[in-house]
Structure 1
Amino acid sequence: MSRPASAPAPRPARRLARRLPLVGGIAAGSVLLLAGPAFAHVSVQPGTAEKGGYATVNFKVPNERDNASTVKLEVTLPTDHPLASVMPEPVPGWKVEVEKAKLAKPLEMHGEKITEAPSKIIWTADGKGVEPGRFQQFPLSVGQLPEDADQLVFKALQTYDNKEVVRWIEPTKEGAPEPENPAPVLKLTAATEDGHGGGADAKDDAKHGRTTAAGQENAASDTTARILAVVGIVVGIAGIGFGLFAGRRRNA
């Protein structure tokens, strides 16, 4: 005999129905955990460049506040390994200033003696800045990268329109947990055998002020991959929950 329409659902089905919101909550939590690190702090992208060459990097600045916009970014360049050539790419809605400082030890570059080098880059918004839920990339052509170092550390200050300043200046130590406000780091790798080192084309870019959007494309690809992975996890969890629910209904 068929069960009357008003009869309550079997207990297993009712228990599963009550658990589905919990499954959804776990899935949503997974989204936050996996997506969060991609936008956690100011970083350099791509994170590596070849020693002895030139590179175009992007300082990626996410807005971590719900009620304020980022209106200023100050990046201090390393003094232990000064960079003689630093050229920012224009960013719509932002003014940029390059500060220079005298070098304690002059550099030799392309047969010329360099006595001062860029020491700080300052981007200031002349519009809305980086609004909540957004991020901005600031491209920079840098060189010549040192051959006797494994990384370059760029300390950064992020200022919001409510006067809050976040200091991304803490060193990251190998084997230790990541600090709360880590400084952006550019890892330096050995030059390739073709000798370009990021090299001939990048040097030409540095001399003539031409920059590329390679860092932005890499960042976009990384973000897209993370989003697709998270969507797959959520869909998988939802499918399992629906399958269990449907199976219990058939067996009831």
Structure 2
Amino acid sequence: MPAEQPTILATSGGWRPGHRSALEFGKLIHFALDLSGVEGRRPRFLHVGTAGGDQRAMNANVAEAGAIAGVDVSFLNLFTMPPTDDLESYVLSHDVVWVGGGSVANLLAVWDVHGLGPVFRTAWEAGVVLSGVSAGSICWHAGGATDSFGPDLRIVTNGLGLLPYGNGVHYDSEEQRRPKIHEAVAAGLLPKTYCTDDGVGLLYRGTELVETVTERPESGAYLVVRDDSSATAQEEKLDTRVL
């Protein structure tokens, strides 16, 4: 059962330390699963680890977390080769796509080589919930700030653009994030930009932001827009629901 309409949950969270395992699904991942509307069977969860280099150790941790949660987990590994020649059918066979963190610049380059942009757009339009953390949040947007190139953040503007906004992640935990986003929006490098503190997710239906949610009560979400009259960035804190 697909989601009722195209759905993206873009986050700066999702995982938590496990009690007897390295990782468990946090509230944001469970929320993504709920958004898929699956009933009467185990949800099908596709983990995409491109941004982290498709690390098999991470895959093992995700598989274990899925088993604990009662979820069927598959992987879209692109190193050293994709799991199938028909990536569109493979992605469409899942309820939720979760894209892990790491290098968003490398992720976008590798996805382009394999033609995954159109595949994910088709899945999104078909009601597969697209989600992820950090790089897995920025990728659905027009662009955002990244440490893909080194410790000094740079702006990428070649995101998939399913969402016509900029995206800022880890807004409260990495000191360069807020000023870099403000600088990029003020300069017109990024359009209006939605940002998340750690533990926060942005829920989009189609291209409209309909809700912000958090698994950490102290964390928030923000909208940064350009004031054309002063060529500066203005920030607004958004109402956020605690999961």
Same fold (TM > 0.5): no
Name the larger-Rg structure: 1
TM score, norm. by length of structure 1: 0.28
- Greater relative contact order (CA < 8 Å, ≥ 6 in sequence): 1
TM score, norm. by length of structure 2: 0.28
